[in-house]
Structure 1
Amino acid sequence: MSEQPTVSVIIPHFNDLVNLDICLAALRAQTYPAGRLQIIVADNASPQGLDAVQAAAGDRAQVVLVEERGAGPARNGGVAKATGEVLAFIDSDCVADPRWIEEGVAALSRFDFVGGQVTVLVSDEQRMTPVEAWERVFAFDFKTYIEKKGFTGSGNLFCPRSLFETVAGFRAGISEDYEWSKRAQSCGFKLGYAPKAIVGHPARRNWEELTRKWRRLNIETYGLSAGRPGRRLRWFLRSLLLPLSAVAHTPKVLTNPGLHTFGQRLGALRVLYAIRLWRVVDSWAVLGRDIQQVREGRPGVESLGADAGAAGRS
């Protein structure tokens, strides 16, 4: 790559024009030379129509239509139109720090592909909802994802175009960022954390938004184990550990500096225990649907993952 490589920023989008406008405004304020940037909005057939998305983007981005459902296919469709030496992936509801691209590109001198830091944005620091407080503690911990779990989320990801072509695109119907990161590392590429490449992601505010996220993640995570021996037994046993994990994570809530009042900590604890119990029940439901569909000769439940993961709020 050149010293200041050309960068294509890929933004999957579905039915979220307000946040897309905020995302594009932040990208326009980047410190990276504008002449070295290409910004692509990969629209996943939003109900407003492509003309409305193009009107919202204006001259700030190129808009392409990707009809195959899912954030992964939307990103792949954006890459197909990309011309940059580096690909930078961000979600349409994220807000990039002004130095996001500059820091992400710089980190590629130390690693083959990188994920950056994601901060959780709340509407009012002093009046967080319980779900916002929980998200402030547990959501988007990219440092842990990268350094301990070996993957980066695709909402803050940088890689050379050549690497992406070697690894191939994101897959639909599963946790595409986890699977892609593991596939890249199996090709011999080194993943690193870029703490100064920062984007903000709005917290989910209520129980409905939170369970919608975890319903999708349960399906996609179950899909990762397709074809593995004993997958159903392991999934069942894994679900039984979720309530115990809530106990283990209680100190994290009580000591987290992102929460400012006792009420916020109490609200986050209530959500912690409630969501872990909810995930047990939903995990069993995913398992039950898979068994039933296989008995009926239909595709397994992981086939639902593409629709569940349409390119909208991550």
Structure 2
Amino acid sequence: MNKAITDRPVTDAVIIPHYNDIPRLKRCLQALMENDLSGTEVVVVDNASPVSLEHVRCAFPTVRFIVEHQKGAAHARNRGVSETGAQRLFFIDADCVPGPDWLAVGREISAQADLIGGRVDVFDETPPPRSGAEAFETVFAFNFKKYIEVQGFSGAGNLLTRRDIFDAIGGFINGVSEDREWTMRAVAKGYSLIYEDRLRVSHPSRQDWPALKAKWRRTTQEAYQLNGTGLTDRMRWALRALAMPASAVVHTPKVLASQKLNSTGETLRAVKTLFRLRFLRMIWMLRQALGGSI
């Protein structure tokens, strides 16, 4: 049920970019309705989906729905921020499922840092056994703790910040890995970024090879833009490409030791997918380094 939406002035906004994934959007909103929404505005920014969202609007009358015709999650998130006056900003993706205390935890910890990324657990939308893609994602997907504490960035599928920081940094940039670029830009300007395990959402695993391949094609394209395209940049990118097969060997023990996989079959499929993906990424990256496209 929807917990206590009161007349308290709006202090928090949840920004949700969406495009043509109504079942998952409804699941996300239903989970949000289990949170304490006091003083909170939920803003769904739709990227002009080809299907009507009218029945979703009717099912969630307290949610604001806005259409942003510029394609891309970056434009949608920026539009969502511009449409609310809330000072505390929660970012989540439409295919994520927030925990029932997601907003409460966010409010409790919000003063601890300028940007806070949380935990993203993976769940399957299909019955067992897992496919190779699902098994791979179960082991490797969404390690936000490593992203934040080792690599210095956070995804926007589970991110908390403030309006004054957003205004100082500027909006997300479309065409690159916009959440990674935005959080790294904030850190470079001196804003603090921490990981909080209690700030939890969950995300479905990619169900098959085409879905996993599409994810990593997009990720590789965005990462190349962040890497730079000058001669020295492309040489560095080529070296990273050549290291991909070796990285599969290095990461195989992580698959073999994982307690998240339920059978030998799932483990073997995860290892096979690991090597298949890393070799494919090597080919893509070498093409990019030579000035081609993927």
Equivalent residue, structure 2, for 1:14 = 19
For 1:53 and 1:283, locate their aligned partners in 2 and report how far apart those are by CA, in whole Å: 41
C-alpha distance in 2, partners of 1:23/1:6?
Answer: 21
Identity of aligned residues (%): 40
TM-score relative to the length of structure 1:
0.86
Secondary structure at the counterpart of residue 86 of structure 2: coil
Q: 3-state SS of the aligned residue for 1:194?
A: strand
Which structure 1 residue ranges, 5 or more long, are not aligned?
293-300, 305-314
* Residue identity opposite 1:273 in structure 2: F
Report matched runs for 1:267-306 at 5 Å: 267-288=269-290, 291=291
* Structure 2 contact 126–207 (Cα < 8 Å) conserved: no
Task: Check 1:285–1:228 CA distance in 2 against 1; reply closer, same or farther (3 A cut).
Answer: closer
Post-superposition Cα deviations, 1:127-161, rounded to whole Å, max 9, x if no partner, equal 11111110000000001101111101010000011
* Alignment match, 2:201: 199
**Structure-2 residue corresponding to 1:44:** 47
Which position in structure 1 is the counterpart of 2:75? 73
Secondary structure of the equivalent of 1:42?
A: strand
| Pair 174,155 (structure 1): closer, same or farther in 2 beyond 3 Å | same
Equivalence for 1:310 = none
Detail structure 1 runs of 4+ shifted over 4 Å in the superposition: 49-53
Q: Which runs of 5+ in 2 are unaligned?
A: 1-8
Letter in 1 for 2:39: R
Q: Note if contact 1:104-1:116 (Cα within 8 Å) is conserved in structure 2.
A: no
Deviations 1:197-238 (A, max 9, x none): 100000001000001001111111111123656111111111
Q: SS state of the match for residue 113, structure 2?
A: coil
Residues of 2 paired with 1:261 and 1:216: CA distance?
Answer: 30
Change (3 A) 1:53 1:282: farther
Aligned-partner Cα distance in 2 for 1:39–1:271: 38
TM-score, normalised by the number of residues in structure 2: 0.92
CA distance in 1, matches of 2:282, 2:56: 38
Counterparts in 2 of 1:163-242, with a 5 A limit?
163-226=165-228, 230-242=232-244
Q: What is the Cα deviation at residue 123 of structure 1?
A: 3.1
- Number of residue pairs the alignment of both structures matches: 286
Asked if residue 63 in structure 1 is aligned to residue 76 in structure 2, the reply is no
- Bigger CA drift: 124-133 or 205-214? 124-133
Alpha-carbon separation, structure 2, partners of 1:167 and 1:271? 38
Change (3 A) 1:282 1:228: closer
Query: One-letter code of the match for 1:249?
Result: H
Kindly indicate whether structure 1 or structure 2 has the higher relative contact order, using CA contacts under 8 Å at least 6 residues apart: 1
Q: CA RMSD in A?
A: 1.9
How big is the shift at 1:51? Answer: 4.5
